[in-house]
Amino acid sequence: MKKKIVIANDHGAIEIKNRIIQHLEKRGFEIINLGVDQDQSADYPDKAVEACNYFLNNNCEFGILCCGTGIGISIAANKVKGIRCALLSNSYTAEMAKNHNNANFIAFGGRIEYKDSVEDMLDKFIDTEFGGERHQRRIDKMMSI
């Protein structure tokens, strides 16, 4: 059975969402696409909550959220109990999001020019293991706030 990843986006991130889906499908993941595929306006908080609720109620590896900058949609996701969404900016932040924070969501901006390719950041996040131990203590503190 393929591992599932849920993804959602607003109108500011259609192209990046499609790149992400294509890359993840090549890696063998099943993609649950809750995002928009046309330029019609969509509110990123609604897309974040929809994807987070899907993640929490289904067996997904992790989730991905995309809006124009990735900022608003990641803030909205982090309001949902049980979600740790990291806004990635390069491969190092992708690695640390998994190794230190065991993020269950990552976010990208469709209007952002990244130094590292989105595909490289995805691969780094997916291929990194959670560091456990002292990091879990810190995650527990974050999640209790």
The catalytic residue positions are: 100
Picking from 54, 41, 46, 50, the residue whose alpha carbon sits closest to that of residue 14 is 41
Picking from 71, 66, 131, 121, the residue whose alpha carbon sits closest to that of residue 91 is 121
Query: SS3 sequence, the chain?
Result: CCCEEEEEECCCCHHHHHHHHHHHHHCCCEEEECCCCCCCCCCHHHHHHHHHHHHHHCCEEEEEEEECCCHHHHHHHCCCCCCCEEECCCHHHHHHHHHCCCCCEEEEECCCCCCCCHHHHHHHHHHCCCCCCHHHHHHHHHHHC
